[in-house]
């Protein structure tokens, strides 16, 4: 990876590249940019900064400009973003969703105005009015309204085909279900940016860290992740927002369309959309550039991230005439901000140990003020990231607040590297308990194998156990857990329920008294009863977040049934219990392996016995919020083949909402197999096992 990086920096000036060198570099750039597109658009886990990405694209364009005959069919300059990820139904955009050309300095902006003047043949004294808007750092969406009703929403995808995220978009309060005002157009597609406010992003990351899940790098990625949830309820909890800024397809039966972009924005507001309040009409390049500087000054005080300013030609007839070039309109340009950066020195590289044993390297920095925030630590992500950037203790580094929030290390200033510096060697043992660390194939993280003997893991698990979405024990904060652990009051989860026996000792501690102790004990006693899904989640099993815990609770119904099934599955990976687990929709093999692994561990079973039998916790049976009286409540359904009236995803969601369990494979326990077009072996298996099969029509009739 390090080698690739050097190459990407464009070692040779484009002018001195030979034909063969240019061809080779274009081939490499096409592959590399496509990979970064996938990481950014589909996985929401970019490995490089936006600036690095832009420089790859610019290099590609510069080489193509010099050797036009070498332009490849798969050239990144012909594409926008990445193809739609497979989990959602595809939506073809009636009008393509395009990207914007970037301007990196004032000269680029002046060139933009000059190009327009040339293209339209305008006289020198004719003004080119532009609407100036902040460039929101989120993810774009297109919302289709028919007769004023929101009917479909999609992501950009590759610009031509996006993902159908209608159900998720419906959860956003800023997306009206119906357009306000009289006489809405017959059809209109409203385009804009889904984004997350910084405060919501910080809150979300705190929760994710508490759940042992990786934090999002910036609000943009968490907005993208939030929009691509399979369960709209999760999207709803992310507090996503929406700024409208453009139209796609429009068909009006009456009246005339807008003539200017300013008018269009007013119309969007009237329909009930939020339009960015900083938007301003400017009548010259100089005015536009002044707007840019003004916004840049306000940038760090805004509640959301922006990464530049977009200038759009105001007259729509001019926009029409200007048209598009390959992937972007000629009538708009994005003037990007420079990322907020600073230089400082790495004093140390620490390794943090998470609840599941993952070792995360963190750089301790000489404190530095970047854009008004004092930065003292930056994440180094994992071993590969450190190697890719060759980051060492003592190095002077360029630190950037990516998305203005989590500090990252962009590059090492190698000229200032101390002579005696040594490459960082990732520890092969846990820094806390000394146990061996391992890195499994396909994983980026090293993990401590110490399990329960590792105090870092133990404390993190206890914190998780009492956290808000688990046992939610008020007054037992992170600091208390760590202190009680160190003093031996709490070593295992069940010890929490025995704290009442140490009332006097606690009350005597610094910061505690009789009243606060009594309150704590009461808060603990109140939690001796807990719903099944919370209990499963509280166990802190790897990869078992809230959604999966709820899925398991719904499937197994009671803790007794769940524990029995998991113990059997752990004992026999070929047996029926394992097969049943494996057949649950959304439980993949790696989640199944982590679950079974937990129940194969005698320590864990002791903890469960301790809680259930000794402390007599009452773990409530799962109570479904889905319709109890639906004809398919409690039934296990398998969908196979292509459905005509809905996507597979919709069919599953609907079945689950009606209280059915959706499984991936057919077994004796299956109640119905719904057979679509071109169904394969599942239909045959159903027939063999005597399981009832239904056509799509029959299924629709059954569920009414």
Catalytic residue, from 71, 135, 614, 682: name it: 135
Distance (Å, whole) CA 594 – CA 542: 6
| Residue 332 near ligand IVH by CB under 6 A | yes
Q: Tally the C-alpha atoms within 13 A of residue 526's C-alpha that lie toward its C-beta.
A: 12
At closest approach, how far in Å is the CB of 161 from ligand IVH? Answer: 15
Distance (Å, whole) CA 204 – CA 432: 27
For the segment 372-411, give every residue that binds ligand IVH (CB under 6 A): none
Q: Which is nearer to ligand IVH, 246 or 577 (CB)?
A: 246
> For the chain, how many helices (H) and strands (E)?
26, 26
Residue found by looking up tokens 């809230």 in the block: 546
Q: Which is nearer to ligand IVH, 309 or 577 (CB)?
A: 309
Distance (Å, whole) CA 172 – CA 227: 10
Q: Which is nearer to ligand IVH, 244 or 405 (CB)?
A: 244
Q: Rounded to whole angstroms, what are the CA distances from 36 to 44, 140, 216, 477?
A: 10, 18, 17, 40
Distance (Å, whole) CA 121 – CA 367: 54
Q: Is 135 a catalytic residue?
A: yes
Instruction: Using the rule CB under 6 A, give the single segment among 295-303, 326-334, 572-580, 668-676 that binds ligand IVH.
Output: 326-334
Instruction: Using the rule CB under 6 A, give the single segment among 178-186, 329-337, 554-562, 663-671 that binds ligand IVH.
Output: 329-337
Strand-pair category, 306-313 with 161-163: unpaired
Contacts of 57 (CB under 8 A, 6+ apart): 33, 76, 77
Instruction: Using the rule CB under 6 A, give the single segment among 95-103, 110-118, 213-221, 483-491 that binds ligand IVH.
Output: 95-103
At closest approach, how far in Å is the CB of 218 from ligand IVH? Answer: 14
Please, are residues 559 and 565 in contact by the beta-carbon 8 Å criterion?
no
For the segment 167-226, give every residue that binds ligand IVH (CB under 6 A): 193
SS3 270: helix
Distance (Å, whole) CA 664 – CA 669: 12
Size of the site for ligand IVH (CB under 6 A): 14
Residues in the chain: 704
| Residue 334 near ligand IVH by CB under 6 A | yes
Distance (Å, whole) CA 187 – CA 639: 33
| Residue 98 near ligand IVH by CB under 6 A | yes
SS3 223: helix
Residue nearest to ligand IVH as judged by C-beta position: 140
Q: What is the DSSP letter of 192?
A: E
Out of 50, 133, 163, 305, the residue judged to bind ligand IVH by CB under 6 A: 133
Please, are residues 141 and 65 in contact by the beta-carbon 8 Å criterion?
no
Q: Which is nearer to ligand IVH, 193 or 656 (CB)?
A: 193
| Residue 699 near ligand IVH by CB under 6 A | no
String of contacts with ligand IVH for each residue 15-54, x by CB under 6 A: ----------------------------------------
| End-to-end C-alpha distance for the chain, whole angstroms | 55
At closest approach, how far in Å is the CB of 400 from ligand IVH? Answer: 19
| Residue 136 near ligand IVH by CB under 6 A | yes
H helical segments located in 273-415: 285-298, 316-322, 383-389
Please, are residues 693 and 683 in contact by the beta-carbon 8 Å criterion?
yes
For the segment 552-581, give every residue that binds ligand IVH (CB under 6 A): none
At closest approach, how far in Å is the CB of 4 from ligand IVH? Answer: 25
For the segment 246-265, give every residue that binds ligand IVH (CB under 6 A): 246
Q: Which is nearer to ligand IVH, 163 or 193 (CB)?
A: 193
| Residue 8 near ligand IVH by CB under 6 A | no
| Residue 100 near ligand IVH by CB under 6 A | yes
Which residues partner with 663 through β-bridges?
584, 638
Instruction: Using the rule CB under 6 A, give the single segment among 129-137, 169-177, 207-215, 222-230 that binds ligand IVH.
Output: 129-137
Contact set with ligand IVH (CB under 6 A): 98-100, 133, 135-136, 140, 193, 245-246, 310, 329, 332, 334
Residues known to be catalytic: 135
């Amino acid at each position: 990876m390090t080698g690739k990086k050097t190459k990407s920096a464009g070692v040779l000036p484009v002018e001195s590249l030979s034909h063969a060198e240019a061809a080779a570099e274009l081939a490499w750039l096409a592959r590399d940019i496509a990979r970064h597109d996938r990481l950014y658009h589909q996985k929401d886990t970019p490995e490089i900064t936006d600036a690095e990405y832009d420089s790859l694209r610019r290099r590609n364009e510069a080489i193509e400009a010099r050797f036009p005959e070498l332009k490849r069919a798969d050239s990144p300059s012909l594409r926008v973003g990445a193809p739609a990820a497979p989990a959602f139904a595809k939506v073809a955009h009636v009008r393509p969703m395009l990207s914007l050309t970037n301007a990196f300095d004032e000269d680029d902006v002046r060139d933009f105005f000059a190009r327009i003047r040339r293209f339209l043949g305008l006289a020198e004294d004719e003004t080119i009015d532009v609407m100036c808007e902040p460039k929101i750092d989120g993810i774009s969406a297109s919302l289709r309204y028919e007769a004023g009703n929101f009917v479909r929403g999609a992501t950009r995808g590759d610009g031509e085909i996006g993902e159908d995220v209608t159900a998720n978009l419906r959860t956003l309060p800023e997306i009206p279900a119906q357009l306000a005002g009289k006489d809405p157009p017959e059809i209109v597609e409203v385009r804009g940016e889904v984004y997350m406010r910084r405060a919501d992003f910080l809150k979300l990351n705190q929760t994710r860290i508490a759940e042992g899940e990786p934090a999002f790098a910036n609000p943009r990625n968490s907005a993208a992740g939030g929009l691509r949830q399979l369960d709209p309820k999760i999207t709803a909890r992310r507090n996503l927002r929406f700024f409208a800024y453009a139209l796609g397809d429009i068909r009006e039966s009456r009246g005339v369309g807008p003539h200017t972009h300013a008018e269009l924005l007013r119309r969007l507001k009237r329909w009930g959309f939020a339009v960015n309040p900083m938007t301003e009409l400017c009548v010259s390049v100089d005015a536009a550039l002044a707007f840019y500087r003004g916004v840049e000054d306000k940038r760090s005080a805004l509640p959301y991230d922006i990464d530049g300013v977009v200038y759009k030609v105001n007259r729509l007839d001019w926009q029409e005439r200007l048209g598009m070039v390959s992937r972007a309109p000629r009538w708009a340009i994005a003037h990007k901000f420079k990322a907020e950066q600073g230089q400082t020195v790495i004093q140390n590289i620490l390794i943090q140990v998470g609840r599941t044993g993952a070792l995360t390297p963190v750089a301790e920095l000489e404190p530095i003020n970047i854009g008004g925030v004092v930065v003292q630590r930056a994440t180094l992500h994992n071993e590969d990231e450190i190697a890719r950037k060759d980051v060492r203790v003592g190095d002077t580094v360029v630190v950037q607040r990516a998305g203005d929030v989590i500090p990252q290390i962009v590059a090492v200033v190698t000229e200032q590297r101390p002579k005696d510096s040594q490459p960082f060697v990732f520890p092969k043992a846990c820094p806390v308990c000394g146990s061996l660390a391992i890195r499994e194939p396909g994983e980026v993280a090293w993990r401590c194998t110490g399990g329960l003997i590792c105090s870092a893991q133990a404390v993190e698990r206890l914190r998780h156990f009492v956290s808000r979405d688990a046992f939610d024990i008020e007054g037992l904060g992170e600091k208390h857990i760590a202190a009680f652990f160190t003093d031996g009051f709490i070593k295992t989860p069940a010890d929490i329920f025995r704290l009442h026996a140490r009332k006097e000792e606690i009350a005597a501690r610094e910061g505690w008294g009789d009243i606060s102790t009594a309150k704590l004990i009461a808060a603990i006693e109140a939690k001796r009863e807990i719903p099944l899904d919370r209990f499963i989640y509280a166990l802190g099993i790897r990869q078992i977040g809230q959604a999966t815990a709820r899925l398991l609770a719904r499937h197994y119904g009671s803790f007794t049934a769940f524990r029995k099934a998991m113990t059997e599955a752990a004992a026999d990976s070929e047996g029926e219990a394992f097969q049943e687990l494996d057949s649950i929709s959304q439980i993949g093999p790696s989640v199944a392996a982590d679950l079974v692994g937990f129940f194969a561990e005698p320590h864990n079973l002791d903890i469960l016995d301790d809680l259930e039998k000794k402390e007599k916790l009452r773990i409530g049976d799962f109570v479904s919020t889905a319709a109890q009286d639906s004809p398919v409540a409690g039934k296990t359904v398998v969908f196979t083949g292509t459905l005509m009236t809905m996507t597979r995803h919709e069919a599953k969601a609907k079945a689950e909402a009606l209280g059915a369990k959706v499984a991936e494979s057919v077994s004796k326990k299956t109640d119905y197999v719904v057979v679509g077009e071109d169904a394969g072996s599942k239909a045959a298996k159903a027939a063999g096992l005597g399981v009832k099969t239904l056509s799509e029509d029959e299924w629709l009739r059954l569920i009414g």
